[in-house]
Structure 1
């Protein structure tokens, strides 16, 4: 596996490529490609925001698109299908869905950092059918089965 991620800009995109804000950051900041300048998100509205980029990922990886914590906690903007997955063989423009949970409308400007991308390994195990599974202490206990707190 190579450690190189290749980005291609759409015509007119002069924004910085995705990058890490600190040496220890797990996610690369993605910027909003809004050639018209800005977009207003209304409460309860879902919008698709272009990054103005296409990507070529290393083999056996995916790009997970996640909310930026500051936008989620301070402005109540989430990514409805978070984490969104960009597959290694996708070559189209990367769009990110945003949903404003509530509160006041929020203006997103061209070039604003609005999401983050994490490159993660993908396992592709053999899929088989069996008649029974190995028993565990938890068994089939689901939501809340391990107790509170």
Structure 2
């Protein structure tokens, strides 16, 4: 059995209810990130879900923010920029950017407001939340995403006139087809 490489990652609790990350099982790649406050995400909205934690990653590492498979399977919530990257030099609070890809409420149109020359959209009929089909209330203490610590090599860029030839060449999106 090979020895698992470990790296020391310091964390700071920025909120008294922040949950110190832990791995659910011994061989898991990701550890849970937990919401530190309630966040309502309406259909079509993106919201930042605070974790109440800041990380001090060693140089040469990143924290990747990834979706939890159960959340993606059972809801229309998605981690927006998956995987999100927390750089080793960042010391602020880690927040999970989540999208609600549900459709707008049936028959509902936004009310257009003009405030200080700007157009602001306000959704109507938000009470009670149970009636708002497609809205998700992330509750304080919910496991919303997972974090993975990854090694990040530094690239040394070299400008050249030509690149070496490969079988794929310049074939991009969809160039390999969809059937096996």
Could you tell me whether the CA contact under 8 Å between 2:62 and 2:152 is conserved in 1? yes
Query: 1: CA distance between counterparts of 2:82 and 2:157?
Result: 25
Is 1:8 the counterpart of 2:38? The answer is no
| Partner of residue 110, structure 2 | none
Q: CA deviation at 1:16?
A: 2.7
Query: 2: CA distance between counterparts of 1:42 and 1:105?
Result: 4
Return the index of the structure with the highest Cα Rg.
2
Is 1:129 the counterpart of 2:123? The answer is no
Is 1:119 the counterpart of 2:149? The answer is yes
What TM-score, normalized to structure 1?
A: 0.91
**What runs of 5+ residues in structure 2 fail to find an aligned partner?**
104-133
Query: 2: CA distance between counterparts of 1:2 and 1:22?
Result: 15
Query: 1: CA distance between counterparts of 2:165 and 2:77?
Result: 41
| Partner of residue 24, structure 2 | 21
> What's the Cα RMSD here?
1.6
Is 1:41 the counterpart of 2:71? The answer is no
Question: Once the two structures are superposed, what CA deviation does each residue of 1:37-73 show, in whole Å capped at 9, x if it has no partner?
Answer: x232211111111110100012200001011111112
Could you tell me whether the CA contact under 8 Å between 1:2 and 1:58 is conserved in 2? no
Question: Among 110, 114, 129, which residue is 2:140 paired with?
Answer: 110
- Which portions of structure 1, spanning 4 or more consecutive aligned residues, are displaced by more than 3 angstroms? none
Q: CA deviation at 1:116?
A: 0.6
**What runs of 5+ residues in structure 1 fail to find an aligned partner?**
none
Partner of 1:40: helix, strand, or coil?
strand
Could you tell me whether the CA contact under 8 Å between 1:15 and 1:31 is conserved in 2? yes
Q: How many pairs are equivalent?
A: 145
Partner of 1:126: helix, strand, or coil?
coil
